[in-house]
Amino acid sequence: MTLEELLILATIISGLVAIIQLLEYIFTRNIPWLARLLMHGSRWVKRKLGLKKIPPGQRFLVLNFSSHLILPKQQQAIQKLLDWTTSEVIDARLGNVPETGNFVAALVNHIEKIDLLPNDWQTSQMVVMPAGYAPAWSVLLAELHGRLGYFPDVVRLRPAPTHADEKFEVAEVISLREIRGEARGKR
């Protein structure tokens, strides 16, 4: 091999190493950002091309643990934010949680009353309207994580403008999985 050929080979190898290092940096430093970009980008493409179809037996569930009904406009806003064509609201409102006796068992029993089979917990797409009582919501969230295998998305409401028909509107759907993933990177 001539000196010129060796220089060309060294240039190609150093270029490949630089590209590999750049890709490694992009993917290790920006995983949450790239994941959000890919997720929202794929939703946008599916929505624009009309590719999003509901598989047979697929359910889109809104579990309502709050003490208020989910109103039709709120349900439509949730569907739009999640790019769902339809959704089914399951009211699992807590009401009065017993403060005496076994607090955790009472809340787990409350989830047991939700008419979902183990397969439904695993295959349905789900978003949750949280309970307002923090200790109860903590237990419910832990139980949901155990059944689903991941944290569910959570609906956040905010006061609606004064001229609106409803007192509260859907502000956003918070992805607890993304928050957990970003926090794991801070270990």
Domain residue ranges of the chain, discontinuous segments joined by +: 3-43, 54-184
The residues near 174 (Cβ < 8 Å, ≥ 6 apart) are 153, 154, 155, 156
Give the per-residue pLDDT at 76: 93
Q: Which residues contact 153 (CB under 8 A, 6 or more apart)?
A: 82, 126, 127, 128, 173, 174, 175, 176, 177
Is residue 54 scored above 50 in pLDDT? no
Q: What angle do CA 143, 134, 171 make, to 5 degrees?
A: 95
User: In the chain, what's the furthest Cα-to-Cα distance?
Assistant: 86
**78-117 pLDDT tens trace:** 999 999 988 999 988 787 777 877 888 888 888 888 888 8
| Prediction pTM value | 0.66
How confident is the model at residue 29, as a pLDDT?
64
Would you put residue 167 in left (φ > 0), alpha (ψ -120 to 50) or beta?
A: alpha
pLDDT of 142 > 60? The answer is yes
When the pLDDT of each residue in the chain is averaged and rounded to a whole number, the result is 83
The type of residue at 140 is L
CA distance 57 to 149: 20
Mean pLDDT within 67-73: 87
Residue 90, strand partner residues: 63
Reading across the β-sheet that carries 88-91, which strands appear in turn? Answer: 88-91, 60-64, 125-129, 153-159, 168-175
Asked if 142 contacts 128 with a C-beta cutoff of 8 angstroms, the reply is no
